[in-house]
């Protein structure tokens, strides 16, 4: 049976832990100079509607390290839903490739690709969620803190796609997630309703200091995401009190770690002093995108093989 990775919804804890264990193994293998050919003879198409550093490099390198072939498509190459329908694109791609990774504006583009493609589809980022990033973050926390269970993760900033994926993840793993944002920037009601249905420990507050208090993790992202450039000045004003700086960090646990999915707008959502400080694990997160995404691709490919 085909499985897609569009978000945490539809995956149980055991399945996600399988992927995380595989990521750890692949990271060890790479450091030992081993490249297991888990995608040998396989082709992966990488569709990008948005520019990218981490997503493009980690997926291309990851496919190569697993013995597969990556095909990169720019917005001009494919023009999803413009030159031809998303459904027709999916039906073409499934005849040529074994996996589809798409980084899109609209989440509905991903769901339509998945509905019409007979091969697994991976969400490389959408306006709704960024599950590859958050699963890599979970992997990073397990490395650094030894566990996810019982941690308090404080997200300071906008209720964006990354925050949505953290809320989804809290419905699978038993950690506490608190989001501090300005009034008017809260998560969509449907996201919170789904969290409540999954019994996730999720809290939303407008008080950044209260969110940071006793936190094990302080997490942030840019205040203005791609596509919101016209709101930049207003968002800078609205989010001015939601910066991760040394003052805020002092309210977290003494051994708290600082995370950012990058790119960072230093001096806005996070200061140089913090992102370059001893508690920052920002670049460990970036490294682990490679290993986690390799594990996602290999896991999905393995499920296809088992059910053919």
Query: Which residues of 12-160 form beta strands (DSSP E)?
Result: 43-48, 69-73, 99-103, 121-125, 152-156
Tokens of 142: 């397990």
**Average of pLDDT values for 167-185?**
97
d(CA 263, CA 83): 31
132 is catalytic: no
Tokens of 250: 């002092």
pLDDT at position 196, please?
A: 92
pLDDT at position 307, please?
A: 61
Q: How far is Cα of residue 217 from the mean position of the Cα atoms in its chain?
A: 16
Q: What angle do CA 229, 134, 30 make, to 5 degrees?
A: 115
User: Which of the following is catalytic: 127, 137, 216, 221?
Assistant: 221
pLDDT at position 164, please?
A: 98
Task: Answer for the pair 166, 217: CB distance below 8 angstroms, yes or no.
Answer: no
d(CA 155, CA 24): 25
pLDDT at position 227, please?
A: 74
Task: Look at residue 300 and tell me whether its pLDDT is greater than 80.
Answer: yes
Q: What is the mean pLDDT of the chain?
A: 96
Confidence class for position 184, pLDDT limits 50, 70, 90: very high
Q: By CB neighbour count within 10 A (0-12 exposed, 13-18 middle, 19+ buried), where does 197 fall?
A: exposed
261 is catalytic: yes
pLDDT tens by residue, 227-269: 778 889 999 999 999 999 999 999 999 999 999 999 999 999 9
User: Which of the following is catalytic: 138, 289, 291, 293?
Assistant: 289
d(CA 195, CA 189): 10
User: Which of the following is catalytic: 65, 133, 243, 285?
Assistant: 133
- What domains can you pick out in the chain, each with its CATH number? 13-130+289-306 (3.40.50.1370), 131-285 (3.40.50.1370)
pLDDT at position 306, please?
A: 67
pLDDT tens by residue, 62-111: 999 999 999 999 988 887 877 899 999 999 999 999 999 999 999 999 99
79 is catalytic: no
21 is catalytic: no
181 is catalytic: no
pLDDT at position 78, please?
A: 83
User: Which of the following is catalytic: 158, 260, 261, 285?
Assistant: 261
Structure pTM?
0.97
103 is catalytic: yes
User: Which of the following is catalytic: 130, 152, 235, 260?
Assistant: 130
User: Which of the following is catalytic: 3, 54, 103, 235?
Assistant: 103
């Amino acid at each position: 049976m085909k499985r897609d990775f569009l978000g945490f919804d539809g995956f149980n804890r055991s399945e996600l832990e399988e992927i995380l264990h595989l990521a750890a193994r692949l990271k060890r293998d790479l450091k030992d100079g081993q490249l297991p050919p888990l995608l040998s003879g396989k082709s992966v198409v990488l569709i990008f509607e948005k520019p990218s550093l981490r997503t493009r490099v980690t997926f291309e390198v990851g496919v190569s390290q697993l013995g597969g072939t990556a095909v990169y498509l720019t917005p001009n190459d494919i023009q999803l839903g413009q030159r031809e329908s998303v459904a027709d694109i999916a039906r073409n791609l499934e005849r040529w490739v074994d996996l589809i990774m798409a980084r899109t504006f609209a989440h509905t583009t991903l769901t339509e690709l998945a509905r019409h493609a007979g091969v697994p589809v991976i969400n490389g980022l959408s306006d709704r969620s960024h599950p590859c990033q958050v699963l890599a973050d979970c992997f990073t926390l397990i490395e650094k803190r030894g566990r996810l269970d019982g941690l308090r993760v404080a997200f300071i900033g906008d209720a964006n796609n990354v925050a949505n994926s953290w809320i989804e993840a809290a419905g699978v793993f038993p950690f506490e997630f608190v989001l501090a944002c300005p009034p008017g920037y809260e998560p969509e009601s449907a996201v919170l309703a789904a969290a409540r249905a999954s019994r996730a420990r999720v809290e939303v507050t407008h008080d950044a200091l209260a969110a940071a208090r006793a936190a094990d993790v302080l997490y942030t992202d840019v205040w203005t995401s791609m596509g919101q450039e016209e709101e930049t000045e207003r968002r800078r004003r609205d989010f001015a009190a939601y910066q991760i700086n040394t003052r805020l960090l002092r309210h977290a646990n003494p051994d708290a770690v600082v995370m950012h999915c990058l790119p960072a707008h230093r001096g806005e959502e996070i200061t140089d002093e913090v992102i370059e400080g001893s508690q920052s694990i920002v670049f460990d997160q970036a490294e682990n995108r490679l290993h986690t995404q390799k594990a996602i691709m290999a896991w999905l490919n393995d499920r296809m093989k088992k059910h053919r």
